[in-house]
Amino acid sequence: MSTTTFPGVMELSAEVTQVAKDFGVVEELHRVLAMTQRLFPDCPMHVEIDDDPEIANDRHLAILVQDRIAEVEQALAARWQWNAELFGCCSAPLAHVFRLGMEYQE
């Protein structure tokens, strides 16, 4: 598994970049990351390659956000907002490549 941490200089690991190229979503990845930073300002985040251990060749780019949202309703609203804005970053057939993970940080 490869991890790239943000914010700061938005450099992606070679493995994350290769997976984005394989899916044809390099430009979309940068738009999704910018949208995620806008929705979760000041929250550390990183990108992982998410391989499903039970389904062969089922890979995704997982953007994991460490957020301080304590209320379940707020966390769900943030997730719904991210999902809604995802389609403004990429076409529907490419949206399945991206996943959002939210980690609570105290």
**7-30 tens-digit pLDDT:** 444 578 999 999 999 999 999 999
Long-range contact list for 42-46, CB < 8 A, 24+ apart? 43/67, 43/68, 43/105, 44/5, 44/6, 44/7, 44/105, 45/5, 45/6, 45/7, 46/3, 46/4, 46/5, 46/6
User: Is the confidence at residue 4, as pLDDT, over 70?
Assistant: no
Over residues 68-96, the mean pLDDT reads: 91
Say what the pTM is: 0.84
Percent of the chain clearing pLDDT 70 (strictly above): 89
Residue 79 CA from chain centroid, whole number: 11
The number of folded domains in the chain is 1
Could you give the 3-state DSSP secondary structure of residue 56?
Answer: coil
Distance CA 46, CA 96 (A): 18
Q: Which domain holds residue 78?
A: 3-104
CATH number of the structural domain spanning residue 79: 3.30.70
Is residue 45 within 8 A of residue 36, CB to CB? The reply is yes
